[in-house]
A and B are shown apart, each in its own frame.
Chain A
């Protein structure tokens, strides 16, 4: 259990302070604009923290999962692991995607897998971002 106030509560308080208390005190338009940005960032970080207090562990697990998937799809012996694989699976995943032989099935599977964490991140960072697959004027 975290000591109160937890980071999300602090960030929410900061967002309110910037957006409500300071906003009326700032007259310079360029600073007022950046004040809105700062308030928005605090609010967005609070939402992220409440939903996912340990984003880096989750990102790591996801990258490891995709690496396993990519290894299983590719023919044995192609694109061997570098030393990076254990230290940072995201680095290794990126390197493998760059260097692996072209494999439509493996890449299509990755395409689907990579979109899941992106969708999750977008729901938190920009709830108005439309995650539909197709649009009228595609």
Chain B
């Protein structure tokens, strides 16, 4: 059968995968481990995820609920490998971030060359639409803002160091996150199968208005509704470090405010749950950093350009034959939403005349 809703590259059958996981866990944990079940998990448009039920303790019949997270046969621009991600998660946890540990790193489990690790499966909801709209999360929504700000502050407390992520030169005092982001965007736009004039125009605006004197910190890179595990009592964990990189604090502050992650609640810029000003204030309280709304706005335009390119890239994963997941085509058709929003934000900021 095909995994990941129809992955084209050679992946093993679920029966074979179960046997491989059991062999790996017996080596990593102990010879008593038994794997009861392995099932593909939906929801990961980038990584391959499997629900694994395994008895890990010597004298128990109580199975542990795990998630296996594996490199997919094709990834988006800026995606780090699961081996790098596992190291990064250790660093984030040491900084006090609530994120599940990456356990028992393995290579070649799901397909040759792919790294994968296990993590405990957490109780809670990740689907943004449910968290933003369902009445059962009303109490949780009311108490998400402070923990999110605090978590982001802990992530941003990690100072640049060489070797953790595949980005050289980050501890250099000349490292300039907006310039680095512009260079990345330029490269991404150059690599698109068809040029997008709206994104090119947004890039010109970004170039003219790039913030100066940015601090460089660890950025989560995809800090948004959809990557938070939320229970009815509030935040459970932050997930998905695939797009972590060295960047400016304002970059993550903006990403969570992107229109696409508000799930229709346009009146609540922060993740569809809180007002923009309250989000900035919560982050400032948690970190002592001053938040410059113009700087965040710049990153919000950049975020929309990046996600518009990301949507097109998702479609290309299908069209190139590297993935057979039809959802990728639906995502590609939504690129124009992010283009619209980037241009709308530029207009709201006074357009080019004020740049």
Binding site for B on A (CB under 8 A): 29-31, 33-34, 37-38, 40-41, 44, 63, 66, 90-91, 93-95, 97-98, 102, 104-105, 107-108, 110-111, 114-115, 118-119, 121-122, 125-126, 128-131, 133-138
- Apart from A29-B42, A130-B266, list 9 A-B contacts with CB within 8 A: A34-B326, A41-B330, A66-B197, A98-B200, A111-B351, A122-B340, A133-B347, A136-B267, A138-B276
Q: Would you call A41 and B334 a contact (CB within 8 A)? A: no
Contact of B201 among A38, A91, A107, A131 (CB under 8 A): A107
Most buried by B among A97, A105, A118, A137: A137
- How many Å lie between the Cα of A102 and that of B353 in the bound state? 10
- How many Å lie between the Cα of A63 and that of B347 in the bound state? 20
A contact face: mostly helix, strand, loop, or mixed: helix
Contact of B195 among A31, A95, A114 (CB under 8 A): A95
7 tightest CB-CB pairs across the interface, nearest first? A94-B195, A107-B352, A97-B200, A30-B42, A104-B352, A137-B269, A104-B353
Chain A positions within 8 Å of B330 at CB level: 37, 40-41
Q: Would you call A126 and B337 a contact (CB within 8 A)? A: yes
B196 on the A face (CB < 8 A):
yes
- How many Å lie between the Cα of A115 and that of B326 in the bound state? 28
Q: Would you call A137 and B347 a contact (CB within 8 A)? A: no
Chain B positions within 8 Å of A40 at CB level: 330
Chain B positions within 8 Å of A133 at CB level: 344, 347-348
Contact of A137 among B198, B267, B329, B339 (CB under 8 A): B267
B101 on the A face (CB < 8 A):
no
Q: Would you call A137 and B268 a contact (CB within 8 A)? A: yes
